[in-house]
Structure formats: C-alpha cells, structure tokens
Amino acid sequence: MFAALQPMRQNLLQSHEIISFAHLETLPQPMLKSIVLWSKRILLGIFVLVGITVVTLVFTGNSHIFRGISKTYLVGKPNADIDDMYLFDVSTIPADHPQSWVLSPRLNQYAPTQVQLNTMDSMQTTAFLVIKADSLIFEQYWRDGGRDVVSNSFSMAKSFTSMMIGKAIDEGYIKSVDQPVGDFIPEYSTGANAQLTIRHLLTMTSGIPFGEDYSNPFGFMAKVYYGTDIEQQTLGYQVEKTPGTFWKYEGGNTLLLGMIIKRSTGRTPSEYFFQKFWSCIGAEHAAYWNLECPGGMEKTFSGFYATARDFARIGKLMLNRGTWANDTLLSPEFVDAVFMPCAVSDEKNELCSWYGYQWWMGEHQGTAFQCARGMLGQYIIMIPKDQLIIVRLGHKQKPERVRHMPPDIYTYIEAGYAAAGL
C-alpha cells in the first residue's frame, strides 16, 4: 500500500514544475497569496477526506484496518510474517520441564542437494529439522532462524486446537465430537445452527461461510487477525449449508473450537495446552499465543509461536498416537480419528481425502504422510511408516497446489528422507 506511493513521490520531486521556496519569493504578491490559499484548501481537503475515511471505517466495523496497517506497512512488511510476535499481545506458555533431544551420531552428515538448497533459499527457509526414531539427525537454520528463535505457526495452531478438543473429550468435559455446538455456544442452538456439531468444526464441514481470503483487508480473516473483538466477529456468522455436506477450509471453525475449549474446561486454550501437553513433552522454550488484546481470546486458528525443536515434539506426540514416555497424553483412538479423511465433497465435488480433524494428510511416492501446515510454509510432517518427523519453517511457500499440498512440501519430504539415510 505505502510502497506503491514511493515512485510517485520520486517523480514529483524530480519534476521541473515544482516551485522551490526560493522561487516563491520572486512571485508577485497576488499570485503568492493565491498559492497559499489553494495550498490551505488542499490540506483541508486531505484532512477532511482522512477524517471521513476514519469515521467510515469505525462505523462500518472495520477499525481493525488501523491495527493491520500499524502491524504491517508501518513496520516495513506487506503482510503478517513469522516474526511478528512483538507486534501483538500474547499469552506465555512456560517450558517448566525442559528435555533435550537425543542427538544422532549421524547429526548433520547429510549435505542437501543443490535443488533442495535452491528450494530452501527461494522459499526463504529459516529452519529445517529431521528426527528419525526419536533422535535429531539433521538441523540447520538460515536467515533470521535459530535454535532459540520462536516462529509463528500460522495455521499449524489449528492442529494444536484439535488436540485440546480430544483431551477435553478424554477428561469428560465434552461428551464426544458429535455433541452439538449449541451446548456450549447458545448462538448455535436454534434453527439450522442446531445441526452443527463439534465434528463439523473439526472437519471444516460446518457450512458457515466465514471466508478465508487473507488478501482482503475487509474480510473475516483480517478482522480476527488484527481486530480486538474476535468473539463478536465470529458469532456473527451462521450456518448456511447443511453441516457435514460440504468441505471448505475456514479458520472461523477453529475459533469456535477455541471458545468450546474455554467454556467446557474453564481454562483458556493457552492454560489448557500448557497443562495437558506443553508441560508434558519436554518443551525447551516457552511458547506464546497471539491474543486479540491483553487478557483476551487466543487466535486459535493461528499465531502460536515456538521453536522448531519444540514444534517437532508435537509431531513426536502425534506420531506415537498420543503417548509420551509411556504416558498417554491423548487417547490413541482420538489420534486415529484425527487422521481419518472426512470424505465430504468440496466445491469441485471431490471427496476430501486430505483433511481430518484440523490435520492434513497426503502421499508422496507411494508413502502416506500427515502434517500440520501454516500459510507461509510452516510444516510439522510425520511419516508413520518410517518413524520420521520433519519440521520446516520459513517466510514463503509456493501458491499452487499439487494433490492439495503446496509443491515445496514434497521437496522437504525428499530432503528429510535423504538426511535420515532412507
């Protein structure tokens, strides 16, 4: 937005028609008064236009635009990025029982191919880790990445939210994934909304048209990422298609899951995730969750900040079907259900085989994999067949899709296999 004004400014400054202050002194007095008068009118017009714009944005429910601009363009960024934590209010998820990863004797013996390095570079990769059989076998950082650097998860947070739903079911706070959403959120207890269940939210089949366009500054995602009234924004949307009949990826579903977690357990998602998972898996560093305002609601669809090593721990937990060091943190039955394709048709009338309970699934060269995925190429990839975990963090991912995945993920999988000697 602001970058586009720079060439115009330079052209004006270079123009020979601009009258310098020195030239103004030689102008006839009437002409000088006229210039001053018109300058005042132009400035007044600009102030009036800005004022009207501000009032319009506020009264149309778009005041988030100001926060969005202050957290992107005014700090030199065109969009949200992996290192934007300092711009937001966050909750802290402590690392109270840190454990180091076991280091493989073959750590970093693999040298990535030029093709792999080119992909890492062009996608502005910051971290790449490979874990084989619970041992760290490859670890490398680039650019602004580092072992102790936390990164925005973006939509990987959706996968973490689904884990908390499973834990709340294990502990009896929620009856099952088929419990009506209206039992926890009264706004969804009547009419078409009454058909909505937790399963529909988990599988992105709610039939609620929140909108997932990150490029639209007036859209739902911009309002909840930069706004301060997430609950009000989210509850303003209603079921429009019969739940369970149409698959569409919508972050608003995960916000509703976050509300259910808080209302069912009596704890915020940050508190519950810390108590049931983060404290139990040996996280070495504190994590952080993006909040709408101090003490406000977590953006459960995004904005979970952690290190690459600690993201890998979540992969290990899910790869081991919810167990950690012989402790069952999440029932294996729920983990199995997480990775069952929802099998509901999308807008192209294709049965969804790539999404379960807020986790993605795919296949590469005949081998199945599962992953948490964020919009700038954040990945926690698990390959059960070979007990492999791959974590990649960075600033970019390819926009196109190959078998419902960004194609760069397949390069990371190949690099992971090679690093593990498979």
Q: What is the pLDDT of residues 212-247, one digit of tens each?
A: 877 777 789 888 988 888 999 999 999 999 999 999
Is the confidence at residue 19, as pLDDT, over 50?
A: no
Residue ranges per structural domain of the chain: 3-60, 90-419
For 403, other C-beta atoms within 10 Å of its C-beta total: 12
Find the length of the chain: 422
Determine the straight-line distance between the first and last CA of the chain, rounded to whole angstroms. Answer: 47
| Statement: residue 393 has pLDDT above 80 | yes
Q: What is the pLDDT of residue 9?
A: 39
- Cβ proximity of 258 and 298 under 8 Å: yes
Query: Predicted confidence band at 15 (pLDDT cuts at 50, 70, 90)?
Result: very low
Assigned token pair, 71: 């957290």
Confidence of residue 60 (pLDDT cuts 50, 70, 90): low
User: What are the tokens at 173?
Assistant: 């706070």
In this prediction, residue 22 carries a pLDDT of 53
pLDDT confidence of residue 252: 97
Instruction: Please give the pLDDT value at position 181.
Output: 98
What are the structure tokens assigned to 114, written together? 């030029």
Fold of 90-419: Beta-lactamase (3.40.710)
Highest-confidence segment of 18-22, 25-29, 247-251: 247-251
Question: Could you give the CA distance from residue 24 to residue 280 in angstroms, rounded to a whole number?
Answer: 73
Residue 1 pLDDT exceeds 70: no
Q: What is the pTM of this model?
A: 0.85
Contact 393, 415 (CB under 8 A): no
- How many helices (DSSP H) and strands (DSSP E) are in the chain? 14, 13
Give yes or no for residue 48 having a pLDDT over 80: no
Query: Residue 51: pLDDT above 50?
Result: yes
